[in-house]
Structure formats: C-alpha cells, structure tokens
Amino acid sequence: MSALNVQVFLRRALAAFTYRDFRILWLGAFTSTVGTWIQKVAQSWLILALTKSAFSSDEAPGRTMSAFYLGLDDFLGQLPILLLTLIGGVIADRHDRRRLLISSQYVQMATAFTLAALVFTDAVRIWHILALSFTAGLAQAFGGPAYQSLVPSLVDRKDLPNAIALNSIQFNLARVIGPLLAGGMMAAFGIALCFGINGLSFLVVILALVSLRVKHIRPTERKPMLQELQGGLAYVRSQPAIMGLTVLAFLTTFLGLPLLTFLPIFASEIFAGDVSRYTVMMAYSGAGAVVGALVIAWLGRFKRMGLTLLLVQLAFGALVTAFAVSRVLWLSHLLLFLDGAALVMVFSLTASLVQLIVPDHLRGRVVSIYMVAFRGGMPLGSLWGGYAASLTSAPFVLAVNGGLVSLVSVYFLLRGRGVKEL
C-alpha cells in the first residue's frame, strides 16, 4: 500500500479525531477504560481465589462456586443499569450531560479506592466486592445515557458512525492493554495496586470532561418525568427498526457476553494456566475487537448496514460455539480474536443505526432504552450463564449460547422486522 493510500485510509478511518472535543473525550475515556479493565481482570481473579479457598479444598465445589460468583458479580454490577437507565435517559435530556458524567466518575472512583484499601489491609470479602460492583453500576446507570447522548453533539452527523466506531476502538484497545498491565501488576505488586490505578484513572476523564467546550442547551419545555419517559417508550414502539435493534442488542449481550465472563475458567481449568494465560486470552479478544472497530470506522456510513449487521452476528454465534468446543490453545486464541472482531462490529453497527435514526430531542431517552437492552442483557446473561454452568459446565453453556445467537440472526434475516432493510 502506497503512502498516499495509507494517508487516505487514515483520514477516513480517523475522521472524528478532527473534532477537538471528541479527541479530548476519547483520550480521557481511553485512560479510564484501561483502568477499568485492569480492575476487571484483578477482580475476576480475586473472586476466583476467594471462592476456591472459602468453599472447599475439593476442586469440584470450588469450580462451581467460582462460576456462580463470577456470574453474580457481573449481574450485580449491571443490575442498576437494567433498573435505572431509563430514568437516567430522561435526566440526560433535561440536565447538563457533562455534569452528570463527572458525578458518575466520582462515584466510580470512590468504589475503586475502597476496594484497593480492603485488599491492601487483607479485609476483603466476597460481599464487599459484590456491594462495590453494585454501587459502581448505580453510577453507570446515570453516566451511561449522558455519555452516549454527549458524543453526537461533538461531531457532525455524517461522522457519527465513525465516532461510534472510534469509541469502540478505545474501549477494546483498552481491553488489550488493561489485562496485560493487570497481569504484570498482580505478579509484581499484588492485586491492591490494580484497584488503586483504576481509581486514579478516573481523574483523567474528569479533567477531560471539564475541558470540553460543548454547551448545554436547556429543553424548551419540561414535562413531568413519567410523561417524558412515556414519550420515549412510545417513540421506540412506533419504530420497528429501533425495536428490532433493541431486541438484537439484548439477545446478543445475553447470549454472547458470558464468553468474557467465563474466560477465567477456560484459562485456569480448561487450559490449566495462571493469571497470565487469562490476560493473554483477554488480549487476543481485545485485539480482534480493535480490528473489527477499525473496519467499521473505515466503512463509516454505508448502504445495507442492517444486512451486514445480521450476517456478522450470524458469524459471531458460530465463533462462540467453536471456541466453546476447542481444546487447542492456539486455535482458541484465534477464535477469541475473531470473536472479538465480530462482537464489536455487531455492537458498533447496532449503536450507529440507533443514533442515526433517533431525533436529538429524544436522544437521551431512546438511547437509554437501547442501553437497558444492551447493558441489561449482560447481568441477566451472566447470572443465568453462571447458574447453568454450575449445573453443567461453562463450555457447554457457551456452545448452546453461540448456536442461539446464530438462530436469532437467521430469524431477523428471514422475517425482516425493519433491521435488514436499514
């Protein structure tokens, strides 16, 4: 590829970076997300260690309780998002989205520092981790709709799909870097440092939010909160395409995200590794996601986005099933890479289509409804997956889930429901 072609590719793939406020928010969010992934890896490994030591010296009960508590931790972290994000969406349409986000970051920073102190003093218990996950989820329930509604105000409409894809890149690039840093920190300094670093990372995104030049425009009229919430729900019900995208988002996260929840089990028990094997597997998944997001960023807005979404989701389901049955390490790494690419392409395309359809005065409410489906599928899927894995096995649950993901995409391909035509 010539230097000119590379330049053209980068200009197209990084179009949203030409906007100052988007660049600042992206860098702040990236730093914070690296910290979040450092904590996620350390927290999962901490749960694995605590449950194995607390419940039995016999490996079998320890394994089943580890799967259950890993699922429960994800469930409690996402439960407030399921319960309160719709209210968060109404608030995001009524109030300054930047200030909402800053408040959310302060709460999450406090939970990270608290967990660091508990681990450092050797006072941490399983219930501490679960309670702090729930508290952080409360903050995300109000910060999430504010963030998703803020991004479209930072770029022109034509560059919105690119901005959403670049946002996926920062999340998934952090998913590569964060686990690798976590593995090194845990080995060299212990788990407590991982939580402390995450707490410090929130300061960066707070500074980024403070420096944005975007101005809050107050709504011309303010109705009662319940009435505004009903208006958002009525709009979604009247739009078959948004309804279809919302259902797809829920089912993909419910069935597909247990893949990440169960990675510690695959690393430690299927492939008999330690935390470094887990972080390497996370890195492969994150690297694939970065590649998938780059593809979507380069494509931008294009024809037949809906059909492409469904075909990629079909492939994602098959890849999840293939990973579940693989017992060859290099093949599992390759499948994780492809899984990560397909998953982020599905999420980027779905989010882009929702943002392109919705009018700005309803954006917070409609995006919050989408987020309830998208984020709500995670805790429910993790809880059910953890329970089912305790009765059978993690590989069996993932194999079934992958087949169901593909069946969902086949249904939408055959029945339409407004998505295939987008």
* pLDDT tens string 248-294: 888 888 998 888 888 888 888 888 777 778 878 888 888 888 888 88
Quote the CA–CA distance of 172 and 177 in Å, as a whole number: 9
Span 375-386, mean pLDDT?
A: 77
CB atoms near residue 379 (< 10 Å) = 26
Q: Determine which of 20-24, 184-188, 278-282, 373-377 has the lowest per-residue pLDDT on average.
A: 373-377
H-helix or E-strand spanning residue 212:
none
Q: Where are the domains of the chain?
A: 15-212+222-415
Cα 95–chain centre separation: 25
* Structure confidence by residue, pLDDT tens digits, 133-143: 999 989 988 88
Over residues 116-131, the pLDDT tens digits come to 999 999 888 889 999 9
Residue with tokens 């993909």: 252
Instruction: Give the separation between CA 349 and CA 354, rounded to whole angstroms.
Output: 9
**Residue 238: pLDDT band by 50, 70, 90 thresholds?**
confident
pLDDT bracket for residue 27 (50, 70, 90): very high
Residue 296, CA distances (Å) to 23, 307, 317 in order = 18, 14, 19
Q: Select from 3.30.465.10, 1.10.3720.10, 1.20.1250.20, 3.40.50.10540 the CATH code of 15-212+222-415.
A: 1.20.1250.20
- Give per-residue pLDDT as tens, 39-87: 988 898 888 888 876 555 454 444 556 667 887 887 888 788 778 877 8
Mean pLDDT of 356-378: 75
From the number of C-beta atoms within 10 Å of its C-beta (0-12, 13-18, 19+), residue 103 rates as middle
Say which amino acid occupies 80. P
Mean pLDDT of all residues in the chain? Answer: 82
